[in-house]
Structure formats: structure tokens, C-alpha cells
Structure 1
């Protein structure tokens, strides 16, 4: 939330499967740039840089190593260097607490509320199964009638709804769909594995190739549900060349609502066509921000607490009960994720209903607006207003952290560069969420003038 970008590693072909080794060298190189002065580096920037790395594709299992290596190299912010670490290091693993899924599911709940629907009454299918982070937590959080789950093992389908108790068993144990007890399927239900050939379905249809069937099941003619949540799957699975297959011959969509949990499952061109066909669609960039919010607040605790406090309050060694502070802090993070998702949803929904613009476009416009306002605030003298600074940062912080250490300690302990980023990003996002994409400078002046009074 306070700004960032993707760190991308593109190794030469000769490294083959050595991704972990490449990642370790990447971290080593980053630390060379952070730990200055260095005899082989000319520092033109002239100021201390602070970097924090969050888990992404293929790196989640290396967050512990990177933090401990940073400590070995002498980086003073080593506790905050990586996020999503193990509880024993004071980390908050995203999958354990369903941080990304909480934001995605909040979008689902907000959409249903606007449409006057109850979650228990709707039907849903999802890509990404009970063995994955998003897929498992979507199963655990939801209360709908799930008719299909598509994962690495194949397709699990039951038009009457898959047994939720059995789904939760798989999700808790992180098992793939092929481990579903098929005795719990109705007569029309089935599981088709990716390795199967010429499989006959209950309706007599022959599936020549299980892998192709899995890869395209989101277009299956038998699907006619309320909600589709991509929690995994191949990038660009729905694209400009095949989006029409998401509708039947009468133009009725396979799902009337789509909330993207997985990144890049649907291309932007296809999103716009789906919306033109009457589908309510919230893209990945808006819906799945929960993980980065969790990482941001994990960093904040690492910086605001002294080392001995952090060890006592945030670390949870395996087999030992977690400290009460840690439990409450994590609970408040989940509440912040849900609140932020709700606020952004309402901002998008209001603009969509008022002006009829596609939600996929509005999502980009809203993000661009927040980024522009953030940059202007960062360069402005607003941060020098102590009362406003205190108000904005207090509102950003989980209450249990403020209660424990106090605002004075937070303002003193956390690096000023990081506080400035928090201030600018937090003020910008809340302003845009409340005042809208089209709000101008006068609106901002009124908003800021009233902010300390309201808080």
C-alpha cells in the first residue's frame, strides 16, 4: 500500500532448474546495494535505502532464508527485510491466515449485498483447488453451493453442489481434488483426472483427453452459475480469441459474477467483452490486495517494536502458543484488509453505477488516481503538519500496536522515509475512496481540512 514494484529475476537458460540458487544470488546483490559504503560500489544516491520483499511466485519458501541471511550480512532492518515469514521469526504467512483470499471474498460479499443475494443461496465454481493458498481459503471462507473445482489433478464437478464438509477436509489438509471421496457425489457428479483418456461422463459425453478437459472446463456447457472465482489456473485462460465460449448460444454467461483471485487469468480485452455481455467483473488488481496489505503491516510491526519486544510479542516458535499481542495484531490486519476491500469496492461500484463505465477500466483509473495523488502528497509540505501526520499514521496503524507502544514511539522508531510513504499512500487512498475518481484539488483541501476533526 505504501508503494512498491515487482522484483523480477530472468536467469540465463544455462541455470535450468536452479531457481533457488539464482534467488539467493539476487538477494546477495540487493544487500550489496543496501549495505553501504561498499568498496566496489559508487553511491550516487547518497541516502540510505530501505527495501522490504514480499513472497510471490516461487519465492514464498525462501523468505525465512533471506531474512536470516540479511541478519548475517549485518542489515539492521533484517526482521522487516522479508514478509510472510514463519511465525517463529515473527512473520505472518499469507496462506495460513488467508490474507489474499480475505480481500477477494470481501468483494464477493459486497457484490452479493448490492444484488440482494445471500451467499448460501448462490452457486459457484472456482479454478485453483483445495491444495493451494487461494483455493483452499476460498473453500474455507465461503458458504455458497460450489458445483465445480478445477485444479492440477483434474475436474471435480457436481451440479447438485459438492459436499462442503468433504471440501473443507481437503482444504484443511491441502489435498488435491482427486482425493475427494467420490461416494459423496450425486449421480450426475464426476471427477475427471488429467491423465484420463476417453472417459465417459454420466450424461454419456466422452472426454478424449483429461488434461484438455481440465484446461477448458471454465467453458463447460453444463456450467450456469452465479459466481466464478479464479483462484489459480493458466494465465490468459480467457482471452480475446475465446471469450465468446463463456456464453451459451442464447448469450447467457457461465457465471454472472466474476471476482478474480488469481493474477492474469483473464486478459484485459476479454474482461471488457465479458462486461459488455452483462457480467459483473472485478479484476485481480483490485480484488487480491490482501497479501500486500498483510506484508505492509508485518513490516510496520518489525520497525515499530524494539528487538526484544518483537521477539516477545510477535514470534511464535513451533509447538508453543502464540503471544496474545500477535493474535490480536493479526486479527486487526484481517479487519483492515476487509475494510480496504469494502472501501475500494464501494468506490468502484458508485462510479460504475453513476457513469456506466466498465469496472475493469475503473479499476485502472482508480489505481492511477491514487498513485498520482500519492506522488503529489509525498512531494508536498503536508507531512510537516504534525497534527495531520499523527492523525493519518494513527489511522493507518492497527490499534493494538498504537496501544502497546504509543504514537510517539512509532513516530520516533519507524524510519522517516517509511513514515512519509505511509502518510502519502494512506491519505491518498482514503481520499480517493471517499471522494471518488473525479475529485479535484478543492475537494482534497476540504477533505484534509476536516480530517483531524473527524479523527
Structure 2
């Protein structure tokens, strides 16, 4: 707790990573509601992060800061106090007896209202002599060696790979589809979804309001907004068809082309995904508050005949749909990929940013990861980013193919399969990390050689990686790599005998 905020940090493993979110309140009633739910929201976000982190060595974590009602404008001050407190706990102190004898390593990522503060946190950790300051935060500016998710579309790369994978299974062409999207061109997910996709987008909902055109919004204009990172209120209205419209959150008693009167633009924006006009082949939530679709309102995503308004939903935004609502929608025929699977690309990028920060010396990091004032980018950095994107897409495909096989074979909802895959991988990784196998030198070297991006392996060498990266981090990396490859490759029905055979194959090839 601080003067400006009430804060929490929850993690599921000793080595963990997750975003830090700052929550603001517009009124006393909203503040009291946020105060009552902030810990639960934090726990649910960390739990989702734990499942999402199944492909990486770091366990799930999340931090939340609820600004006190009188301190709504003190975002930076609250964040500084929060980071100071975390470092107090992480840094060793001579006057504190450590009875556990283990090293806690936290990595923080950007989330709501903290993206611009990642640079400060890393540099401040360096000033406080935190050994792993270069890796303390992810999503940093390129000028201090970071790999921002939004710049390269890391999270969206995974989300869109799921979209393409689903469409392939259903025999659909992306260019022929209609789509509704929440989260606009001013945000990370929203802007990159616009730039990566080729569908006919009929609606984009963002902080400014609702932009809609049944004939499809002009893609060139959407792309312009996405590149400029501005909201849909900047869309050139002359490019809308006669039935298209924009309704801003401040609009009152606005009349739509069909004669409908919108009495409150903010309410219209918040609930537009339930509106009959919001009917399309594909729905990709890239923004919105947690629980926007829940057990009390999910039926509003059905039309008058009780059929789903959206054939496919790929949940880019965290917790946009509650689990019980997901299951009901799947029962009614929606192909739904939940957040913990769909948007895990960002955490993969962050983890590989951490890995490079730990493996490179300060001199190597400065030379190969930092983008100088002249804007010059090293060949290593360019190649490393490309390899991160390839890994994100490969992981998305691997998980989807397993989910689809299991779904087709046993008719288990995809939402439950996503959970089961995460649980199996995490349980296998935990068991592997606790066993002697993770310390087997030949196996360890083989696995690290396989999972390390070629650019990093060639620059640093496996010996330096094994010497420089913290041992418990390497333990987690080896365990997670073995677990993901085993479960994705052998399936959920694989047992202990199958695992023995899998390890035997690895050892023979080592």
C-alpha cells in the first residue's frame, strides 16, 4: 500500500513474469467497485497468465495498482512507489535473514497505463544495483534494448495465427469474411489486427466510440489510423456508405441511418457487441473490460432465431468473456479460442527478450540489442525479432492443432481443452524441474541448443549461455521446453511410459 494506491503482486512460481496494470476510477461508486474486486481481478489475471505462460520458463504473475480516488492523476508517482517496494523485496539485505536460500527473479511487463514506464523501471533497477536489471522489464524502448510488442505485432501475430488456423479448418477464406473488432487503431492489438488482417471489417469499437459500415470499412483508411495510432473518431466519414455511421461516447440522441436513436453514446459503445448490427463471421475482441460477456448476458450474442451472431470468436483481449459464457457459446456452435491460448504471443516475445538480456554481456547487449540515436539496427536484432515471430506462430499452430484434434475426437469444448493443455504442460514442467533429469548435462545442453533462437546461439555460444544465465532460469527453460514438445507432440492422452520414451529419444540424439 502506498499514499497514492492500493497494490498487489501475485505470482505462481519463483521465476515469474507478467504485466503491471494501473486501474483508475471515474467516480466514487466506480472506485468502491474497483476496490472490492481489485484483488480478485489481480488473481484472475495472474491465473490466466500462468496458463498463458505454458510455453515459456517464467511462471504467471500480475501486478495491479488501484489509484486512490484523490490520486487519479498520480500514475507515475504510484508506479515509482510500487517498483521501489518490489525491489526492496527482491534485493538481498544483510540485516534480513534468508531462511529459504533461493533466488526470486521477477520480470515485469507493460499493461494498462504502464507501457511508457517500463524504461524507467529497468533503469531504476539498474541504479539500485539489481543484477538482472536489463531483464527486469520487457516491452522497453529499443533505445535501451527492448522489443516492444506493438512495434512488431508480437501479441497480434499469435492471435491472427489462430484466426488463420480456424479458418483453414472451416474451409473459409479470410478475404471473404466479415469481422467485428473491439479495441481500436490506437492500441497495440487493435492497430496490428487491422494491419495484419485481410477481412471485411464492418465495425471497430474503441475508446472514442463506434465506427460501423455494413459494406465494410475502408481498409486503407483503417490502416492509416492504425499506422498513426489514433482512434476511430479520426476516420474520414466521407468514406462511409449511406448506411455507415460513427457514434462517439459523448453523443446524445444521435440518429442512425436506419432511424434508430442512440440516447447515450457511451452506453452504445459499451454494449455494441450485443447490438443486432454487430453480426459477422468473425469477432476479435482486442480491447474491452474483463467480463464484458458473462453468464448474465451471453445470450445477447445470439440472434432472434437463437443462432450465434458470430461463427468464430478469437479472444485477443484478456478475460473479455468469462469461462461460463465461453462454454455456453460453444454449446451453441461458436468456434471460440480463449485468451490464454490466443494472445500468448506477447509473453513469448517478452520471455525471449528476457533470455537475450540474461545471456548477453553488457557490452554485447549494448552493441547488438540497443538501437542508437542514429536509428541503426544491428543485423542480430533484426534476425532475433524475425525468429521470435516465427516461434510465436509455431507455438500457436502447435497448440491449436492439438486442441482441434482433441475437440474433433472427444467433442470437448475448446475453452476446456485450452485449460487442460496448460495444466498438463505446467504439471509436466513442474515435475521435470523437480527431477534429476533437468540437471543431466547432456540432456540439458541438447534441449538448450534446440530451444535457443539460432541468432542468439550463434552470437553467444551454448557454453556462455549455460555460464551466464541463472541456473534456476535454465532449469525452468529446460523443463518447459521438454514439457511443451512432449504434450504438443504426443497429446493429452500421453502417459508416463510415453514420457520415458520421449526422454529416451532426446538422450539418444544428445
Q: Tell whether the 8 Å contact from 1:126 to 1:228 is kept in structure 2 after alignment.
A: yes
- Measured after TM superposition, the shift of residue 11 of structure 1 is 5.3
- Measured after TM superposition, the shift of residue 454 of structure 1 is 6.4
Q: Does 1:70 align with 2:125?
A: yes
Q: Tell whether the 8 Å contact from 2:312 to 2:334 is kept in structure 1 after alignment.
A: yes
2:377 to 322, 329, 335: 322
TM-score normalised over the length of structure 1: 0.96
1:361-381 residue CA offsets vs partner (Å, 9 max, x unmatched): 111111111111011000111
Deviates more, 1:16-25 or 1:269-278: 16-25
- Measured after TM superposition, the shift of residue 37 of structure 1 is 3.0
2:92 to 36, 52, 57: 36
Q: Tell whether the 8 Å contact from 1:9 to 1:23 is kept in structure 2 after alignment.
A: no
Aligned to 2:472: 417
Question: Compared with structure 1, are the counterparts of its residues 50 and 241 closer, same or farther at alpha carbon in structure 2 (3 Å cutoff)?
Answer: closer
Structure with more of its chain in strand, by fraction: 2
* Secondary structure of the corresponding residue to residue 214 of structure 2: coil
Distance 2:79 2:155 in 1: 23
Aligned to 1:23: 79
Correspondence list, 1:206-355, <5 A: 206-355=261-410
1:118-156 residue CA offsets vs partner (Å, 9 max, x unmatched): 111111110000011110000011111111001111111
Aligned to 1:61: 116
Question: Compared with structure 1, are the counterparts of its residues 151 and 14 closer, same or farther at alpha carbon in structure 2 (3 Å cutoff)?
Answer: closer
* Secondary structure of the corresponding residue to residue 312 of structure 2: strand
Aligned to 1:162: 217
Unmatched segments (≥5 aa) in structure 1? none
- Measured after TM superposition, the shift of residue 192 of structure 1 is 1.0
Q: Tell whether the 8 Å contact from 1:32 to 1:38 is kept in structure 2 after alignment.
A: no
- Measured after TM superposition, the shift of residue 310 of structure 1 is 0.8
* Secondary structure of the corresponding residue to residue 52 of structure 1: strand
Q: Tell whether the 8 Å contact from 1:140 to 1:168 is kept in structure 2 after alignment.
A: yes
Aligned to 1:387: 442
Q: Does 1:181 align with 2:264?
A: no
* Secondary structure of the corresponding residue to residue 228 of structure 1: strand
- Measured after TM superposition, the shift of residue 295 of structure 1 is 0.9
- Measured after TM superposition, the shift of residue 15 of structure 1 is 6.5
1:376-427 residue CA offsets vs partner (Å, 9 max, x unmatched): 0001111232222122112221111111121122112211111001011111
Distance 2:271 2:94 in 1: 53
1:240-262 residue CA offsets vs partner (Å, 9 max, x unmatched): 11111101111221110000000
Question: Compared with structure 1, are the counterparts of its residues 4 and 57 closer, same or farther at alpha carbon in structure 2 (3 Å cutoff)?
Answer: farther
Q: Tell whether the 8 Å contact from 2:143 to 2:373 is kept in structure 1 after alignment.
A: yes
* Secondary structure of the corresponding residue to residue 106 of structure 2: coil
- Measured after TM superposition, the shift of residue 10 of structure 1 is 4.6
Aligned to 1:378: 433
- Measured after TM superposition, the shift of residue 452 of structure 1 is 5.0
Q: Tell whether the 8 Å contact from 1:11 to 1:22 is kept in structure 2 after alignment.
A: no
- Measured after TM superposition, the shift of residue 267 of structure 1 is 0.8
1:131 to 186, 191, 194: 186
* Secondary structure of the corresponding residue to residue 53 of structure 1: strand
Q: Does 1:433 align with 2:488?
A: yes
Question: Compared with structure 1, are the counterparts of its residues 22 and 240 closer, same or farther at alpha carbon in structure 2 (3 Å cutoff)?
Answer: same
Question: Compared with structure 1, are the counterparts of its residues 453 and 162 closer, same or farther at alpha carbon in structure 2 (3 Å cutoff)?
Answer: farther
1:366 to 417, 421, 434: 421
Distance 1:205 1:14 in 2: 37
- Measured after TM superposition, the shift of residue 43 of structure 1 is 1.4
Q: In the comparison of the two structures, how many residue pairs are matched?
A: 454
Deviates more, 1:101-110 or 1:387-396: 387-396
Question: Compared with structure 1, are the counterparts of its residues 117 and 409 closer, same or farther at alpha carbon in structure 2 (3 Å cutoff)?
Answer: same
1:151 to 197, 206, 211: 206
Q: Tell whether the 8 Å contact from 1:112 to 1:119 is kept in structure 2 after alignment.
A: yes
Distance 1:71 1:15 in 2: 32
- Measured after TM superposition, the shift of residue 51 of structure 1 is 2.3
- Measured after TM superposition, the shift of residue 436 of structure 1 is 1.4
- Measured after TM superposition, the shift of residue 271 of structure 1 is 0.6
Question: Compared with structure 1, are the counterparts of its residues 195 and 37 closer, same or farther at alpha carbon in structure 2 (3 Å cutoff)?
Answer: closer
Unmatched segments (≥5 aa) in structure 2? 1-55
2:253 to 198, 209, 217: 198
